Amino acid sequence: MSTEPTTDDRRKLADTRKALLTLHRVLIGSERAVYERSAGAIPSAGAFLQLLTTDPWFAWLRPLSTLIVEIDEAFASKEPVADEAIRTLLDASRQLIAPDEQGDGFGRYYAEAMQRDPDVVIAHGDVMRALA
């Protein structure tokens, strides 16, 4: 079995990355709106970045951020990305973006975001198409 990924595999991972970035942006915007309704306006971009990286309110988004970074690192590597690594990243993407109303962590908060924000549903559909 070849360890060199096919062009289709690399394209699928690149398309998934692009869709995940959009989903990430949409989720951050959606969650910011909920936060600001609860806690008041965030005064600056710097304050918002601080909240994103340190506040427990936004902690559930970090697994998605981490997955995107892992994909970026795979593409940035000087070594070719092995088929198994691509499959692992695609599988991790599928598993992460599975809404789980009964679960905890990312899956539960993701399900809640999908219920309240149609833009999240659209971005989710884009990721699912990229993963198909």
- Counting Cα atoms < 13 Å in the Cβ hemisphere of 27 gives 28
Q: What is the pTM of this model?
A: 0.90
CA distance 104 to 78: 37
Does residue 89 contact residue 15 with C-beta atoms inside 8 Å? no
pLDDT band at 3 (very low <50, low <70, confident <90, very high): very low
SS3 95: helix
Helix %, strand %, coil % of the chain (to 5): 80, 0, 20
pLDDT tens track for 16-71: 999 999 999 999 999 999 999 999 999 999 999 999 999 999 999 999 999 999 99
The pLDDT-based confidence of 88 (bands split at 50, 70, 90) is very high
- Give the separation between CA 70 and CA 90, rounded to whole angstroms: 11
Per-residue pLDDT of 114-130, as tens digits, reads 999 999 999 999 999 99
- Residue 5 has a pLDDT of 53
* pLDDT(4) > 90: no
6 band by pLDDT with thresholds 50, 70 and 90: low
Which residues are CB-neighbours of 12 under 8 A, at least 6 positions away? 86, 90, 130, 131
Q: Where are the beta strands (DSSP E) in 32-117?
A: none
Domain layout of the chain by residue ranges:
7-131
pLDDT for residue 8: 82
SS3 (DSSP) at 104 = coil
Average confidence score pLDDT of the chain: 92
pLDDT on residue 81: 81
For residue 36, how many other CB atoms are within 10 A of its CB? 12
